[in-house]
Amino acid sequence: MWAVGPARSRFGGPTAFPRGKAIAFLSGLLVIGLAIMSPIGELADRYLFALHMTQHLLLTVVSAPLLLWGTPEWLARWLIDLVPGVYTLVRWLTNPIVAFLAFNITFSGWHLPQLYDLALRNSLVHIFEHQTMTGTALLLWCPAMCPLPELRASYPAQIAYFFLNSVVPTVLGALITFAGQVLYPTYALAPRRVWGLSPLSDQKIGALIMWVPGGLVFLIAVTVAFFRWMGQEEDDEWIASPGH
């Protein structure tokens, strides 16, 4: 807020900061607070797998794109240029292949029963889980929403990228949905049953939250990239037409 407000001129910013970007960034922070510091966080940590999946989706597919959308190009460029070599590293990290692997390996890995329960039992591991999920989620959305336009992928690449990303939560969600036993003992041993859900029913609902909304977000991103691509093609044709 200091950088985009009173110190804006020091960082080479414009005379005015777009209100929409400020709202987007603050909304991203609000979503993080809602996911971790509200009753969602407490219930997710001790009682309900379904709310833990809701928490993960809030951090990865809601908060992360809002934070990127709200970060201005001039500020991101100033931060990256502070240290020599950081731009090259960021370019590599935001490559669609690297971003895809970083996020999906991280997200899937934390849902292995052993790591998942370890995070619930150890607060430091749990904090690290949230940090790595949110951090790789920022990379995940960079091929389409990186504040530096030259690091974004082409629209055809974005379409393929987000389609492939929709497969992972679908497969992982399906595997958990059709598991015939409770995979995460912490929820089976919860001190009380919230909303009368059995551990197995809770697990199925959580898996469906990962499967359906998680996959749907990426399919929406595919649709947005497709229409932006078509709009770009029409603009290019109009510019290339005689008389323009």
pLDDT of res. 129: 96
Decide: 107 and 61 in contact? Cβ < 8 Å.
no
| CA gap 140, 221 in Å, rounded | 12
pLDDT tens per residue across span 187-230: 888 877 888 889 999 999 999 999 999 999 999 999 999 999 98
**pTM over 0.85, yes/no:** yes
| CA gap 132, 139 in Å, rounded | 11
- What is each CA distance from 151 to 18, 115, 227, in whole angstroms? 22, 33, 20
pLDDT tens per residue across span 89-133: 999 999 999 999 999 999 999 999 999 999 999 999 999 999 999
Residue 94 phi/psi, 5-degree rounding, is: -90, 5
E strands present in 97-226? none
pLDDT tier at 26, thresholds 50, 70, 90: very high
List the one residue out of 162, 180, 164, 168 whose CA is nearest residue 210: 168
